[in-house]
Amino acid sequence: MAAMLEPRGSVALDDYLLDIAWSPDGASLGVIGGEGKVALVSHEASALRAETLGEHMLGALAIAWSPVGSSFVTSGQDGAIEIWNGTDGSRVRTLRPAKSATTQLAYSPDGKRLASAAGRVVSIWRDDGELEHAFEPHASSVAALAWNKPGRDLGAALNGGIAVHRIEPPRWATRFYKWPAAAQTVAFSPNGKMVAAGMQDGAVHFWYLASAKDSQMRGYPGRVNLTAWSGNSRYLATGSGNDIVCWDFGGKGPEGSKPIQLTGHTDRVESLAFQPGGAHLVSGGRDWRLSLWQPGRHTRALDAHLMGAAVSTVRWSPNGRFVAVGEATGRLSVFELQ
């Protein structure tokens, strides 16, 4: 029997649900809203309970949960980065790093470092909130941040390609993978061989890190906002407009191979996520749809649910069993993969 997503409960939050971050044990979720809400949702025995912790004036922008701990961070238009205790919901610390708002937050896989981007500046913080390093401002603002799996490299999406910061104090070296277009996303393949970026001009660009050889896949209807690697580095799922396109990196690689088109969404896909340690992909769109896919096996959705509003974000629990789904009207739902 094909896999299915079983609804396990939902809770209403009074905000546009911008993003969700799971705690490593899957027992809690941090949530941020477009109007600024920061909330903690407990997920125990399938019952969801939400508690509002605070607010970023003018809107929240980013959230990340430490992969090894009980704290999470949020940032907002107010310029602040807040560190929250995910157990009792208290505010641990407020950082005000720059005049520009922090738009990106990403914990290193070992949880010892937090990377942030505010405007053109990438900063590295220690887990206690002390600033460890601020890189020289880039030539453009940073559209996305991502760590590679070992946590040695941090990628930054720029107008003009990708910067890869080597996190190796005290050298803090930076390599550039240039391409004359604006990168929207950055994603390292889990096997560490390549870095991919969705581009503003309707292409996916990727670089083989060892040789710096690059390649690109064109033909998207508009900018490529979403990129997600499968855990085995075989597939790169990409989203642009209503389309989800997967590239197969098995065998000789995607160059010259036909893309796998996953069809079903009838409005813009807002979020894509590959199952940690698994073969399943979930997507959510403005067509109110939550879809479950298995690229390489099926081009049609294995399962789909019509939610109560446009889906803004979909996030797998770290164990790959649950999917949290956020909606534009504020509902957060959890599904279990069967």
Partner 1 sequence: MATNKRVPVTVLTGFLGSGKTTLLNRILSEQHGKRIAVIENEFGEVGVDHQLVIGAEEELFETNNGCICCTVRGDLLRILGQLMKRRDRFDYVIIETTGMADPGPVAQTFFLDDDLKEQFMLDAIVTLVDAKHFEQHLAEMKEPAEQVAFADVVLLNKSDLVSAADLERIERRIRAMNGTARIFRTRNSDIAIDAVLDVGAFDLERALSVDGAFLQPQYPFEWAGVYQLAAGSYVLRTGAETHAHHHAPHHDHDHDHDHDHDHAHAHGAGLGVVLLPAAAASDDALAALIEPAVRAFAEDALAVACEGALAIGATLQRIDVTHSGSHFRLQVEQPGAYALFCEHAPVEFNLRLEGATPAVERAFASHHHDEEISSIGISDARPLDPKKVNDWISYLLQSRGQDIFRMKGVLNLRGEDRRYVFHGVHMMFDGALERPWAGAARQNSLVFIGRKLDRLELEAGFHSCLA
Sole window of 46-54, 81-89, 293-301, 323-331 interacting with partner 1 (rule: CB under 8 A):
323-331
Alpha-carbon distances, residue 306 vs 11, 35, 209, 291 (angstroms): 16, 25, 40, 9
Query: Is the distance from CB of 311 to CB of 333 less than 8 angstroms?
Result: no
Sole window of 46-54, 125-133, 140-148, 294-302 interacting with partner 1 (rule: CB under 8 A):
140-148
Closest CA relative to residue 268, chosen from 253, 254, 287, 249: 287
Instruction: Using the Cα atoms of residue 87, residue 89, residue 92 and residue 96 in order, give the sign of their dihedral.
Output: positive
Sole window of 64-72, 178-186, 226-234, 246-254 interacting with partner 1 (rule: CB under 8 A):
178-186
Compute the radius of gyration of the chain from its Cα atoms.
19
Residues 213, 237: Cα–Cα separation, whole Å: 21
Edge-to-edge strand order for the sheet containing 102-107?
Answer: 102-107, 113-118, 121-126, 131-134
Query: Is the distance from CB of 119 to CB of 135 less than 8 angstroms?
Result: no
Q: How far is the CB of 143 from partner 1 (least distance, A)?
A: 7
Q: Does 100 help bind partner 1 (rule: CB under 8 A)?
A: yes
Within residues 278-297, the interface with partner 1 by CB under 8 A covers: none
**Type of residue found at 319:** N
Q: Does 331 help bind partner 1 (rule: CB under 8 A)?
A: no
- Out of 133, 152, 223, 331, the only residue in the binding site for partner 1 (CB under 8 A) is 223
Instruction: Using the Cα atoms of residue 46, residue 52, residue 54 and residue 60 in order, give the sign of their dihedral.
Output: positive
Count CB atoms within 10 A of the CB of residue 169: 9
Within residues 227-256, the interface with partner 1 by CB under 8 A covers: 241
Q: How far is the CB of 277 from partner 1 (least distance, A)?
A: 30
For partner 1, give the closer residue by CB, 167 or 183.
183
- Out of 5, 11, 15, 167, the only residue in the binding site for partner 1 (CB under 8 A) is 15
CA dihedral 134, 140, 143, 149 (to 10 degrees): -50
Sole window of 23-31, 86-94, 106-114, 136-144 interacting with partner 1 (rule: CB under 8 A):
136-144
Q: How far is the CB of 71 from partner 1 (least distance, A)?
A: 25
Closest CA relative to residue 41, chosen from 290, 331, 311, 306: 331
Q: Does 116 help bind partner 1 (rule: CB under 8 A)?
A: no
Q: How far is the CB of 18 from partner 1 (least distance, A)?
A: 6
Q: Does 302 help bind partner 1 (rule: CB under 8 A)?
A: no
- Out of 113, 120, 234, 265, the only residue in the binding site for partner 1 (CB under 8 A) is 120
Residues that bind partner 1 (CB under 8 A): 15-16, 18, 34-35, 58-59, 61, 77, 99-101, 103, 119-120, 140-141, 143, 159, 180-182, 200-201, 221-223, 241, 268, 312, 328-330
